[in-house]
Each structure stands twice: as structure tokens, then as C-alpha cells.
């Protein structure tokens, strides 16, 4: 299954702005991965930026954090989180991610600013200013405002720079493995990229 996601991007001297627009599908294949009894989030949308020295990062995008031994994969350790092989924050071998969580029926939306190195860390990022989202009819719109620079685990962005990135969307109350992941793309800030952020 696949579905389109429209991406718009802009930046100014301080921030990057990314807007995602999509119709989240019903995902019958998710099965037990779905939160049936008490769904916390109908939809989650994330953007993952890939640091410059992640092996095959430009080709794989956020797939670089997915491995056959992480939790929710068949026979894997249930405590093993996503990771990047030979990870190093100081050596640019990690990924940086921001996420919006809808809450049930649009209530109680939350956001995450984290990174993936030796393991996924869902906090401590300093770059995400806000993640806002909502649903109109059957269409979700999610907008991220992110500082160009932050702290440890936040990839520094700048005009003239292009960075690999990917998009992940958990639809239909799924929580772990069964999410929709884009191919690897590049985002250019006044530079070449599959998505070119407009200067504001």
C-alpha cells in the first residue's frame, strides 16, 4: 500500500518550516500493531533528517535506523529500539527526528524532538519549536517549525545546505512496525534537493 503526501518547505534566518498534507488510509494489514481498546493517537507523522556520515544515508534515508533485530520484528528482542550502526553524535553518524502525534480524535496532540544513535531517544532535542496538526474532512495537515540549529542530536541546517530526510506516518492507530515510510529524499535550503525550501 502507498499513498501520496504533499510536502511544502520554507525557511528564514532562524527556522525551517515543513508542511505535510495527506489522507491517512485505513491500514487493515496492521493487525495486532493497532491500538484497539484505547487508542492514544489516530495518526503520527514524523520527519527524520540523516547526518552526513550515516552509511548509505543519502540513499536509504530513515531506513538506516531499521534493522531485523529491533522490537516488533519477528523473533527480535522486544526491548531493542531503532538504532544506527556504529553510531556517533560527534562523528555525524545518527539521525535527528521530529514527530507530531494527533491524540485520539484530534484531542491531546503532542510532539517529540529526538534522535536515533545507539538507540532511539524520544526527548532532549532543542530544535523543534512546535508541531501543529489537524484534520479537515479526510485530510490531515501537519506543520513543523524547527530551528536551523539546536543541541546534541539536532542536525545543523543552513542556507546553501542539502540534507537527506525521510517521512514516516503511523495511520489507523498503529504503534510500532506497521507504519508507512518514504523513500530517501533530500531537502535543499537554497540548494539542490528533491524538495527545495523557499527563502522567506
Is a pLDDT exceeding 90 seen at residue 63?
Answer: no
Count of structural domains within the chain: 1
158: in domain: yes
DSSP readout, 30-80? GGGGB--SS-S-S-EEEEEEE-TTSTTHHHHGGGGG--TTSTTSTT--TT-
Q: Is residue 198 part of a domain?
A: no
Tell whether 33 is covered by a domain.
no
pLDDT of 192 reads: 96
Domain of residue 113 covers 5-25+38-191
CATH number at residue 87: 2.60.40.1190
Residue 196 covered by a domain = no
pLDDT of 138 reads 92
pLDDT in tens, 68-126: 877 777 887 888 888 898 999 999 999 999 999 998 755 689 999 999 999 999 999 99
Q: Please report whether residue 111 resides in a domain.
A: yes
- Residue 68 covered by a domain: yes
For residue 24, pLDDT beyond 90: no
- Assess if residue 32 is contained within a domain: no
pLDDT in tens, 151-196: 999 999 999 999 999 999 988 777 766 788 898 899 999 999 999 9
pTM above 0.85, yes or no: yes
Amino acid at each position: 500500500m502507498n499513498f501520496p503526501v504533499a510536502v511544502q518547505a520554507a525557511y528564514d534566518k532562524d527556522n525551517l518550516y515543513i508542511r505535510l498534507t495527506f489522507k491517512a488510509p485505513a491500514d487493515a494489514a496492521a493487525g495486532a500493531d493497532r491500538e484497539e481498546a484505547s487508542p492514544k493517537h489516530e495518526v503520527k507523522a514524523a520527519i527524520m533528517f540523516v547526518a552526513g556520515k550515516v552509511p548509505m544515508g543519502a540513499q536509504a534515508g530513515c531506513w538506516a535506523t531499521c534493522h531485523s533485530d529491533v522490537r516488533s520484528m519477528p523473533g527480535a528482542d522486544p526491548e531493542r529500539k531503532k538504532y544506527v550502526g556504529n553510531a556517533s553524535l560527534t562523528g555525524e553518524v545518527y539521525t535527528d527526528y521530529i514527530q507530531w502525534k494527533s491524540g485520539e480524535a484530534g484531542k491531546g496532540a503532542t510532539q517529540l524532538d529526538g534522535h536515533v544513535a545507539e538507540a532511539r531517544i524520544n526527548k532532549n532535542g532543542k530544535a523543534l519549536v512546535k508541531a501543529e496538526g489537524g484534520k479537515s474532512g479526510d485530510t490531515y495537515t501537519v506543520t513543523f517549525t524547527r530551528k536551523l540549529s539546536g543541541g546534541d542530536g539536532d542536525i545543523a541546517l543552513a542556507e546553501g545546505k542539502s540534507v537527506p530526510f525521510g517521512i514516516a506516518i503511523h495511520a489507523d492507530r498503529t504503534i510500532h512496525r506497521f507504519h508507512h515510510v518514504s523513500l530517501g529524499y533530500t531537502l535543499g535550503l537554497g540548494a539542490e534537493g528533491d524538495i527545495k525550501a523557499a527563502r522567506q
